[in-house]
A and B are shown apart, each in its own frame.
Chain A
């Protein structure tokens, strides 16, 4: 999903990053980055290479992974639905036009911004470790997430609840909202990529990646105190949005959070 969105890096995200760069990162660090960018990237090249390989693997194996998944994977939608214990339905019962607009925007733009901005922000730090750890943590998230997608086949709540009136309303509003929000071309790409990955539900990568970013924000709160607040609010919103929009079950969120913790732990250990 990230691939499709990144391909269409929207003006909105770029603008947010620009504003964030000026206000949060600050002119001094940006000025230093002018001369420092190349050596810093060169030093972190191996980690970036791993991340890029994982992302490329994801995009080229997408279709065959789907087939493989149906052959060898466990179909667990009914388990996720049983253990969800009505949490998604409860969240969706608060459905309103304003919330749908908010959560749709956060789900699309907020998510991309949360992933992209810390890459820039940590690159602007003279300490290389946060950047390298972040890249390693992203790679771990993707690698484990994609492996689990092959091992477990599951559909999200929107495909399971046919009767839930609230869920239906949110879902339709969301998809129609996407068109208004992103322009039809972007929406097309986005929906297409969602269709291809609609059985990739367990765990929630939206959750694990945004929680990863929030955990890093906590660790770098001295350098970027305001970012901790922004990242936390965005991460929580993104996580709720996946359930509000009927894309993930509560269990997916739980495992997403676990994956985030694991990836940050390994990244910390790996880069002392």
Chain B
């Protein structure tokens, strides 16, 4: 911190000339990018930025380009690298081969603060996937993460606030913008897209479970029973493994292929595969007794039993099931799964989960993991090497799971180069009456009286106390006497107006074209802002804006110099004007963020976006209105002990 400041005598003009020179010089070489501080010889500091191409993400590159030019102005050499979604997963999430990435958070729904646990807990640095990809190790942070798991009420709120402040000071990642997700939908075949029109529903219009709530347009052709979706994410066509690390798999149709014990529906968790969840009262850690629905089937016709559920929790904790010397856990859901201490399968219908010392709102997150068929996955415990992952792993995590046998409302059918097709699984518990007749929904249209009787049945039930795991059920209801299977949870259970769902994977601009041309009913995931013009010009296309919490951020690899230094991370964060980003790069579709919990009720008071100064409370932009003050930036680096050489390059 007390380096002699050799560059201080340079005039501002020389500084700017140097910035231009360094930008030009950066064109010169291909090769390893690690900044190497040779003894004696000082080389320019080089940072690498990884971002997705516009075809996959229209906004990430805009952020990356701004960051690049500002880093270059500060005298740092920058390599901006575009990587495909598959390569992002492989390079950043599996191999931690990055300096800085621009990306979106792995969750969309307003999360419980415990969603931060796997992201920042230091024991997860050796893990892969969205589990501390930053390599962040901070004991204060660990303590806070652990504390919030077992606290309740104001204590927890206070801990979560302190946690956010610690994260903001340390900047293992720098939250930038909570984007508004634009979705283009056609209303000539299906209606009911807008979740705001529905009670209690959450998430965007193409949140997988919301698709089940669509209605048929009045003038839709009767024979046309295919829901066509267009996305820029091509993962589903090549990899359908719900537990392997992949860039943002949440929110894909896999969520409808695999069921979970409970379904997060807004702030509620409704029993899903479970007909009933009974939280056992006691002084110890939480325990939940799960009573499964009757006659649950896998897509291949096998019975789904409590054994499968028990298997899933054990398997996700160690996919080698004890074969490896060290457990090889799942690459997703690691946080929630780590909450499960003990699994007791009582019989084919019933099992009990005992949690670690935590509170019920945190524990219930473990009920949302996908339940896997034991008869398929228990053969995937074999250890394998290589497979682009740094450490040894199992077949369970490297398998593409191309068959994708689940138990959910959608059954995977086929996939091509850029398409995937699913059919409605008519034996799903959501539609019990369809299966009881033995007929298929594809062949027989439900009759009206029969249909209304289902609805009546639901309406009748809705007055009763909904069984959610947020409240303890009286013990006398522990053994329900209903034998014909519990009703499907509200508001699901209506037969969807389609038999088949297709997903076409193209680019963020082509998805707009597909919707415009009538080849797709809706866009899924990121989309070019041109969609708003298309919607304006067409009576059949609507633009729906929703705000998921998949905030854009800079991810720093804190394992590497110079990003190991929190001051350097703060400096890099200060090179971006978040407000200007929203206005210029997001065309206004977003809000600036200073905390990973921005946009939720948990946001710390001190990290609210400061509307008056319009700047980040912890890492304010080094400049005004999006224009960097080069002198301030360089001054800050000098204060951090960096020096400039005669070419005005930052040397380390």
Contacts and interface: CB of A to CB of B under 8 A. Distances in A.
B528 A78 contact: no
A264 B196 CA distance: 63
Given A163-B62, A168-B530, A195-B507, A187 B513 contact: yes
Interface in A163-185: 163, 168, 171-172, 175-176, 178-179, 184
A164 to B, nearest CB: 9
Contact of B55 (A77, A159, A161): A159
Contacts of A198: 53, 55, 507
A187 B517 contact: yes
A176 B234 contact: no
Interface string B78-95: 011111101100000000
A172 B59 contact: no
Interface residues of B, number: 45
A184 B518 contact: yes
A159 B61 contact: yes
Contacts of B26: 78, 82
Nearest to A70: B87
B557 to A, nearest CB: 18
A155 interface: yes
Contact of B512 (A75, A78, A158, A172): A172
Contacts of A194: 507
Given A192-B418, A195-B418, A196-B418, A74 B30 contact: yes
Contacts of A171: 509
A78 B584 CA distance: 23
A187 B510 CA distance: 9
A100 to B, nearest CB: 13
Interface in B51-66: 53-55, 58-62, 64-66
B517 A172 contact: no
A60 interface: no
Contacts of B518: 184
Contacts of B505: 195
B516 interface: yes
Given A155-B53, A172-B528, A199 B84 contact: yes
Given A176-B512, A188-B504, A195-B506, A78 B62 contact: no
Residue with the greatest number of chain A CB neighbours at <10 A, chosen from B54, B65, B79: B54
Interface in B367-412: none
Chain A contact-residue range equals 20 to 34
Contact of A77 (B82, B418, B509, B513): B82
A98 interface: no
A159 B27 CA distance: 18
B645 interface: no
Contacts of A162: 54, 58-62, 64-65, 585
A251 B651 CA distance: 31
A195 B584 CA distance: 27
A182 B70 CA distance: 43
Contacts of A184: 514, 517-519
Contacts of B61: 159-162
A191 interface: yes
A196 to B, nearest CB: 6
A74 B29 CA distance: 11
B62 A188 contact: no
A76 interface: yes
Interface string A60-98: 000100000010001111110011000000000000000
A175 B506 CA distance: 11
A158 B82 CA distance: 12
A179 B512 CA distance: 11
Contacts of B62: 162-163
B54 A159 contact: yes
B454 interface: no
A168 B516 CA distance: 17
A191 B27 contact: no
Contacts of A155: 53, 82
B504 to A, nearest CB: 7
Interface in B491-541: 504-507, 509-510, 512-514, 516-519, 528, 530, 533-534
Given A78-B79, A155-B82, A179-B513, 16 more contacts: A79-B27, A158-B54, A160-B53, A161-B54, A161-B61, A162-B54, A162-B585, A172-B512, A175-B512, A176-B512, A178-B513, A187-B517, A191-B506, A195-B506, A195-B510, A198-B55
17 contacts: A70-B87, A83-B27, A155-B82, A162-B58, A163-B62, A163-B65, A163-B66, A172-B533, A175-B510, A179-B513, A187-B513, A188-B519, A191-B507, A191-B513, A192-B418, A192-B504, A198-B55
